[in-house]
Each structure stands twice: as structure tokens, then as C-alpha cells.
Structure 1
Amino acid sequence: MQWDVLSFGETMIRLSVPVGERLEMTSSLEVRIGGAESNVAVALARLGRRAAWCSVLPQNPLGRRIAGELRWHGVDISPVHWVERGRVGIYFLDTGAAPRPTQVLYDRAGSAIATADPDSIDLSMVARARLLHLTGITPALSPACREIARRLVERAGQLGVPLCFDVNYRSLLWTPAEAAEALAPFCRAASVLICGRGDASTIWGLDGSPDQVLAGLVELFHAPVTVLTLGDEGALAQTGDGQRFQAPPVQATVVDRVGAGDAFAAGFLHGYLDDGDVARALRYGVALAALKLTLHGDLALVTLAELEAIVAGIPRAIVR
């Protein structure tokens, strides 16, 4: 295979307000890029994995900014479909400090990927990957994006390429009821299903202890590997044969929470890809998420040596 992981999704320009200022009054904005699927690709590429990212980008400075930065980190952007006209989505980060929360303002409607023609995406690229990674953000962007994601999953199924699907609910894009209906087929198709505890509650009404929420996800979708992320409490997983695994949290000084969930997904996949060791994958996931919390921006700019040093201190645990 040419790639370990192929992802598809939107990457936006991130404009961040300096700490201590407000968006409505600031005189400067920090420019970065961010998108769930490309965040995963960057993290994996920096860990030495062969990662590729597909999207739709306009031939303008912002499109080139996104492509150039991903390429610099080692992500293969050859699957990107370029269009002459269109726009890149933008999001503004009004950076908070306790007790004031960080707030996000999106300006992404009508982006090049949201208005893409599904027939413009070359599905044959799926055959070049060991694993396809998608999130629940992409189907929420537009009917066209939902159709592209559906076709990618269908082709992966035909080729026997496993799917990692991260639910990643965004309340600013759609309602819980809309998400529940649209995401169910993707969850059922996943070989690895990743869902946050809050998303499981919001979308499917799964509440209770982490064990109970995980059991609810397993009962709903029967994924070969189901992963429940618990934020500051670590993560749980269950395999198709009923084994349960748990990874404790890694303490971190929080600099920027954005992208921590994507870092978890990347770390999990890095630990899982070679031999399907779920316990090890969980440890890599929580470790990379913790390291991401210490960094500004969406991207987990972490080396393999840094990650291995943290993982070495996380005990292996199996919950039966």
C-alpha cells in the first residue's frame, strides 16, 4: 500500500485572538490551519507514518497555504482536487482563560469542499491505503460532502480497507437528531469507532458510567473496536470478542485544547496499525492527546521520541 492512512475532510484557516483580548476589539490575529482529518494526517506523518489527505481546495493563496503547510509536515496531498474558483472555510478562535471559555466562530458556508461535485473525487485512491479515516464533521458540511463520504466508505468496504470513524459531533453544524440519523451508517461500517462521552450522550442519549456508555455504543453499532474517549479521565475500548481495555489519563498543562481529540485518534491509529494491539493503541492515544494540549494551534507537532517517552510511563490495563 502507498499510504498507511488516507483521510478526507475540510481544512480551514484558523484566526486566533491573543490571550487576554476579545475578537470584537483585537488588532491582531494569529494565522494557522486546522481540520480534524488533516490534523490526524499531520500527527501521523510526524510519527513516521505514510499519511495522505484528500479534500477540495481553491487555487488561491489560502488554498495554497493549507496545501503547503500539510506538505511541509510530510502529508501526501496528491489526492487533493483543485478548483479554479471557491473559498476556504475560516474559523475564529476567541481564546479564553479560566473561568472564561474559548469560543469559536465559523465562517465556512459555501466552501470549496462543501460545494464539491461528488463525481470529482477519485475513489480509486482508497485502494492505495491500509486504512481510511473519516469524521462526523464531513457529512455535516453539505449533502455533497455526505455523499462523497458515503462513496468512500462504500469503496473501502468493497476493497476490504478498514474504516476508522471518529464521531466528532459539531453542534454548530447540525442537530443531534440529524447527526444520529446521518452518522449511523458510518458508525456501523467502522472497523474502529471513536466517540467522546459527551457526543454519545448528546446524539444517542447514552448516559451513565463510562462502562455503560461504552456498552451502549457496542450494542448500537457492533464495531470490531469501539473506543470511548473520556477527556481528563483517559479512554476505554472494547473489542468484538468482549475484551475491555482502559488507559488512564496523562496529566498535562493545558495551552490549547483544540485538536486534542484528533491527536488521540492519530495516536490510537499509530499504536493500532501494525498488529491491532488495542491496549497499546489506547496508551498512544491518551499520550499524544496530552502532548497536544501543551501546544498552540490544532496540530500535534510531536516527535516519535517524545511520544514514546510518555507512553513508557503509562501502565497497561485490561478491564474484563
Structure 2
Amino acid sequence: MVRSSDPARVPGSIRLGPICAIPALLLAAPGHAQDLRLRLPLDCTLGETCFIQQYVDADPGPGHADFTGGPLSYDGHKGTDFRVSDLEAMALGVPVLAPARGTVRGTRDGMPDRIMTDRADVADRECGNGVAISHDDGWETQLCHLAQGSVLVDTGDAVEAGQPIGRIGLSGASQFPHVHIAVRRDGEVVDPFVEGLWLEAPAYEPGGLLSAGFADGIPEYEQVKAGTADAADLPADAPALVLWGSVFGGRAGDVIGLTITGPDGNEVFEQEIALERTQAELFRAAGRRLRAERWDPGAYAGRVILMRDGQEIDRLDTQVVLR
């Protein structure tokens, strides 16, 4: 699967205490931001192999908004969520890194990696497997949802920025594989984007494509999230040829374009699907049923494009070989 270039992307290959106990959102006082400088907490390439799905909730009321006023957050969210595309990507063992020099204040390990279905199951352990790090001048970072058995540090250990401390996982109150990084000063939540804490500030992506692939029918969403829905090849008598795309940060009115091109370069199928509501994560699929005894053998190309207000947000190219 190949992510095609667009104005906001570079071409590339496809990519403790409970959180709820953190005090309500309060930004650090101006002038203190340079006391702490953060590197990214994952060893990955943003926009290609990892993505920021949710930011600190900047809305003090019952609604939610990210620091730009966009919808990439949820009510009361107190950190930044760096995710990978699916469980297959998680299984590759993506390292979680210490965001800055400090001393480990506490750790937790041993919680299973699984999609949370009942929050009561992780009460007072919403962070899952995690590491809390104390930094100078009252700063603290907390990294949550690490993979079971992956935590590499102990309480009291000194860590350097960029040092591996675990692997990305799905433990605790989690619906997708990611690491949640919370930043606090003197116990108060700080948004690192608002306060300019990043050594290299990640570009804001208002949504995008996580993955894409071919199947011989509409896949189950569990297959898409697991990373098992994309077929590298299919039999020439497959009952259908279906292209699908997985999206994060989809908004009502967005349009997903799905195009399949045959081995001869001619278009086999094309459809545009409009999203009816805003969703943090979703997928759409469409294709064509077999109309003869067999498909023409060869490589079929698929292109998935996410459009917003008539502008292309992201695109992914993929292919399948029919034999």
C-alpha cells in the first residue's frame, strides 16, 4: 500500500494513576513553556506510519474541541493520542520513547491488550500499562496504553529523551492502538501544542486515511481494525472486487472517493460516498460484483481519496493481483 503525495504529505510507505483523575484543563502560565521541551513519544513517521487522532480538549464546557477549534478530541480528554493504523501495525512492536530527560515516578504493566468494552473493567486503571516521568521545575509526563509486558523501566530510573520505555499497545481505557501522552505542571494539565513544548511541532492534520485495501466482499470492521482485511491477491473467480478505506477524523459532509483500475489501465469501478456524521474513526467500502465467469487476470489498482469542502485531504493507493 502506498500513500500518494498531496500538498500536506511526503510520499511514504504505509504506517500509574488513572487519566480521569487528572485535574480539569488549566494551561501553564505564559513564560514557562520553554522549561520543558518534548520530542515525539513514538518511533514512527507522522502522517505515514502513525497519526494524531485526538488532542487535549480545549473546550471548558460540556462540548469538545482541539486546540485549533476542530473536533479531534472528546469531552475532558487530557492528553494527545498518537496512534498506528491497526492491530497488525501494533504487533510489529512500535517503540514508545521518553519525551524528555527525567526520572521515572511510577510504572504499571501486566494489563492485557484489548479493546475496552466496559469502563468498569479498568476503573482506576484507565491509563493501562504506563510510565510517569518527573522532569525539572514541576513538570511531569505520563504515557499510557503501552503493550502488556513491554515496560522497560522501573520507578527511580533516570531516562533520556528518545530512550525506549515500552511499546505501543491497547491496554486500559483504549479503543485503538495508541500511546496517550499527558503533560502536567504542578499537577495542572498543559496542552503542548498551545504552549509550544515540542522540539519539532507536529503538523496539524484535520483527519486522514489510516489504511486501504482490497477484499472479495465488504469486510467486517473488526477485520479492518485488526489489519487483516486487505488481500494481496484474490482468485480470478472472486465473487466481487471491493475497495475499502479506513479514516480518522471524518466530518459530516466529507466525501470518500473509491476508484478501481484494471490491468489494462481502464477504470473498472468508481464511486463517491458522502459522510453523514462526524466520527473519530470509520471505514467505507464499495466495489463491483463479478459479471462474467472470471475477472481478467493481473494487477488491479485502487485509489481512496478523502475530500473536504472540495479539497483533497488525503489519498492512499493500493493494489491486488487476481490470478
TM-score after normalising by structure 1:
0.24
More helix, by proportion: 1
Larger Rg: 2
Q: Which has the higher contact order (CA 8 A, sep 6+)?
A: 2
